[in-house]
Each structure stands twice: as C-alpha cells, then as structure tokens.
Chains A and B, each alone.
Chain A
Amino acid sequence: MMDVIQKEMSRDRRAFIKNVLSGTIAGSLLLVIPAGAMDLGNIPEQITGMRDDTEPFITKRKFAFIVDITRCIGCGSCCVADKNEYQVPDGMYRTWVERYVIDDEDNVYVDSPNGGLDGYQEPRKDIPHPVRDTFFVPKLCNMCEHPSCVQVCPVGATYQTDDGFVLIDAKRCVACGYCIQACPYSVRFINPKTKTADKCTWCYHRVRKGLLPVCVNVCPVQARKFGDLNDKESEVYKILHQPHVVSILKPGMGNKPSLHYVGLRREVV
C-alpha cells in the first residue's frame, strides 16, 4: 500500500513536469505567475481597486466585518496569523476564539485557553450535565460607529477615521488605560513591548494596500468575512440584507458596532 502511494507521488511529479512541457499546465501557470519574484509589497490585490485610492480616507466604501459562528471550527488559524502579523507579546490577544458550552440546565461555560492560539485539542471534561449546545465565538475589535474609547481618550491618541476605523496613535498614547476601561468588548490591552494601548485594527495597513485582514485571509472555512457595504454585490452586503439571524454584541451599550455576527446565541456576551 505504502509503496504504491510513494510511486504514485513520483508519478505525479513526473506528470506535472510532463504537463508543463506539453503546455497543459504551463499556459495557466504563466498567467498567474507574475514576472520577477513576489515580495510582500506586490502580492495580488484582494480588495479590487484599493491600490488606486490614495486619499487619506476611503469614504466611498463602508467596510463591515462579519463573523459566522455557524462555520467556525475553532482551529485558531486567525489567532496564529494575527500574532505573526503584529508580533503580539505572549498573553496578549488582538483577536481570540472563545468556546461556549451550554448544558441541559442552561449553565453556560466559556473558556479560551491561550486565546485559542494553540487550537482546541481537548474537549471540556468538567461539565456535569449533558451538553445541549456548543460552538466557537471569535472576538475582535467591534469598530463602533460611536466608540467610547475615543470619547474618553484625554490626549487624542485613539481616534476614529472618517472611513470608520478606530485606531491608536502609539506616539501620543500615554497608557492611562481609560480606553481599556471604556471598551465594552474588552478588546484593548496595554502592550508590554510598546507600553501603549493596543488593539485589533481590522488590519488597516493591509486593507489600505488592497489585502484582506490577515484573519479573514487565513480562515479555512470562511467564518470571517470582510467587505464593502456600499457594493451591493459583496458578500457582506448580501448577508446583512438577507433574513439571517445577524446580530451585534451588547446592542444596549449604544456603540453601534460594525462587527456583525451570524448565528449568535443569546448566551454570548
């Protein structure tokens, strides 16, 4: 059995080379391989037309983020990518994945070992009753339309751009921690390396260069979606305008998040 497979593997390589030589693959490959080596600056655009926009704000687009809880498998690809992108210090999380377990008696158990960075290898064994419902909930910055963190910042270090991103100016931040207290979603933390407040930015630097946020890019099951609500053909527009169960976290806070959840249960906070 193993020998057959090994032989098949080398056959496959030969077949590949034969196909390239005969032109079956070469044609398509040449189309997709740009001339010269690829670098991080010239990766094919994922958000079309983004690289033509050079104004300070992209107000013609209205970005939204959707997390589909009914698809998330809790693999932690997003957490790994996020840590790599920002070199986030250990123990701090710009995005994380929570595991919810709800038992027969309606008790809710939530855990998130190391923020989901190592994935979930073991089931929860400490639940006394039969499990009624269990699912993963990825969390990240809600990019509120009315951000309370911006309101409380005394030095103008955290701010909202005209196109709706809530960002942090690390050069001005004095790490007073008011914003951390003010955020209803607990997405902010003091980064021990920079000694300033830090949080998820929906990968503003990638988006402005035409790439998807890194967590959206790596999600293997499309549980995370990012797009432009002004584009009626976009997936996010379609989801938010369909009779799905779409909701936001803590609507009572009045922050109006631009992060939406599909399939959110009422137990999730």
Chain B
Amino acid sequence: MQQEYKSKSYSHVFKIILILIAVLGLGVAVRAMVMPKTFGEFGHYRGSAIEDEMNRPIRNGTNASCLVCHPYIRQMHLEGVHNTVSCEFCHGPMADHVKDGKVIADLPMKQGEEIKKLCLRCHNQIIRARPKESIKMISMPQHLEEKHVRIDHNCNQCHNVHAPLMWVNQAKAIVGAGGDSK
C-alpha cells in the first residue's frame, strides 16, 4: 500500500536542479563581469588599487627642488637658521608653480602684515604650548620696544625671511659686536 504514495518520476527534481545550476552559472557570470580583474590578486581587494594610489600626483616638492632655479635664495636659506623651514609652507606647492620643468605661474609671496602673522605663527611667545627647546620665541610688541624702533616695523625689515640672522649678524660685525651663526 505504501508504494502508491511514492512517485516514480523524478523529472521535477531534475528541473529544480537544472534551474539551480542555471542560477549559479548566471551568478558566476555576473560576478566575473562586475568584479574588477585584479580583485583578489593579493587579498580581498583590487590589486591594481595599489598602483592607482602609487600614481597619485606629487604636488609638493622638497626644499632641494627649488634650488635649480633659485640658487641664490636656496643657498642663503640652506646656510641660515631657517634651513628646516619649508619653502612651500611660505610660498605654496611646487605643482602650482612648475610643470614639466617650465614655470606655469608665480607662487605668492606674503607681504606686509601677512609676513608678521606668518612669523608669529611659529615664534609667538604668547602661545605657551610651544616647547622652548624647539624654537626661540618673542613677544610683540616687546621685541621691537627692546630694539627701540617704532612698533610698526615689519619683521623683514631686520630679518631676511630666508636667513633671519644674516643681516643681524652682518650688522653686528660692522658695529663690532661679533656674531658667528648666520
């Protein structure tokens, strides 16, 4: 009696298996179409993404990169106390200035009050968080009052921005006060 309930035909099972295989095949095909070629080359990511990241354009040079075309300023800068300060911090990135070895635009130069602000960004005593070991600091307007000049003097009237102690030491040498570092 039991046998009457059991169908002898398996065609419906085959149909389901066939549909499953078709869906799987379609899935694999779609995945192959959607997945980038190099995905999984090194891990669970697109292998060529590394190359993409590597080829990101470099926009900032180094201080050495300004030397070829600005040898006088670079040499002065290199020998002075500001040799660790980046040219591009004060002037902007090299990519805005030079492309394929040719000058495409001038880099800006700070003028007037902006220069004072620039200098104080690093040298302002009033910002107490600065470690004394790292940098020499001044207070304004005390720094100018000590020198007995009008307090509207700008920093670059006494300090060469590229080698701040150069003129100071030269002036000292003339007056005979000595001075060795630049």
When chains A and B are docked, how far (Å) is the Cα of A32 from the Cα of B50?
33
Does residue A33 face the partner (Cβ distance < 8 Å to B)? yes
Q: Beyond the given A218-B60, A218-B88, please list 14 additional residue pairs across the A-B interface where CB-CB is below 8 A.
A: A12-B76, A33-B67, A33-B71, A37-B101, A40-B95, A56-B50, A81-B88, A86-B59, A131-B128, A159-B49, A161-B50, A205-B54, A217-B60, A221-B135
CB-based contact A85/B128 at 8 Å: no
Do the beta carbons of B133 and A70 come within 8 Å of each other? yes
Q: Are A208 and B54 touching (Cβ within 8 A)?
A: yes
Q: Spot the interface stretch: A165-173, A182-190, A226-234.
A: A165-173
Query: What are the nearest 8 A-B pairs in CB distance?
Result: A159-B45, A169-B49, A218-B86, A119-B121, A37-B101, A205-B56, A84-B93, A221-B134
Contact indicator B84/A220 (Cβ below 8 Å) = yes
Please name all residues of chain A whose beta carbon is closer than 8 Å to the beta carbon of B135 when the two chains form the complex.
73, 220-221
Question: Would you call A4 and B88 a contact (CB within 8 A)?
Answer: no
Query: On chain B, which size bracket covers the interface?
Result: 35 or more
Chain B residues with a Cβ under 8 A of chain A: 36, 39, 42-47, 49-50, 52-62, 64-65, 67-69, 71-72, 75-76, 82, 84-86, 88-89, 92-95, 98-102, 117, 120-122, 124, 126-131, 133-135, 149, 157-158, 160, 166-167, 170-171, 174
Q: Which residues of B contact A106 (CB under 8 A)?
A: none
CB contacts under 8 Å to B, within A33-55, are: 33-34, 36-41, 43-44, 46
A172 contact from B46, B71, B102, B130, Cβ within 8 A: B46
Asked if residues A121 and B174 are in contact (CB atoms below 8 Å), the reply is no
The CB with the most chain B CB atoms within 10 A, among A38, A86, A122, is that of A38
A85 touches B59 (CB 8 A): yes
Which residues of chain A are near B171, meaning CB under 8 Å? Answer: 1, 4-5, 8
| Cβ contacts under 8 Å, B47 to chain A | 56
Which chain A residues border B59 with CB–CB below 8 Å?
40, 84-87
The answer to whether A85 and B60 touch across the interface, beta carbons within 8 angstroms, is: yes
A167 touches which of B53, B76, B88, B131 (Cβ 8 Å): B53
Residue of A at shortest CB range from B134? Answer: A221
A-B contact pairs, 8 of them (CB 8 A): A12-B170, A56-B50, A77-B86, A120-B121, A159-B49, A160-B43, A171-B52, A211-B62
Smallest CB separation, A246 vs chain B (Å): 17
The reply to whether B133 and A222 contact each other, CB–CB distance below 8 Å, is: no
Count of inter-chain pairs, beta carbons less than 8 A: 201
Q: For window 3-62 of chain A, which residues contact chain B by CB distance below 8 Å?
A: 4-5, 8-9, 12-13, 16, 25, 29, 32-34, 36-41, 43-44, 46, 56-57
* In the complex, residue of chain A having the shortest beta-carbon distance to the beta carbon of B56: A205
Q: Are A43 and B62 in contact (CB under 8 A)?
A: yes
Cross-chain contact of B134 among A56, A71, A87, A161 (Cβ < 8 A): A71
Interface size class of A (residues with CB under 8 A): 35 or more
Any chain B CB within 8 A of the CB of A99? yes
Return chain A residues, CB-CB under 8 Å to B128.
123, 131, 134
Asked if A144 lies at the interface with its beta carbon under 8 angstroms from chain B, I say no
Given known pairs A134-B128, A169-B45, A205-B55, the reply for A223 and B134 (CB within 8 Å) is yes
Contacting pair B53 A120 (CB below 8 A): no
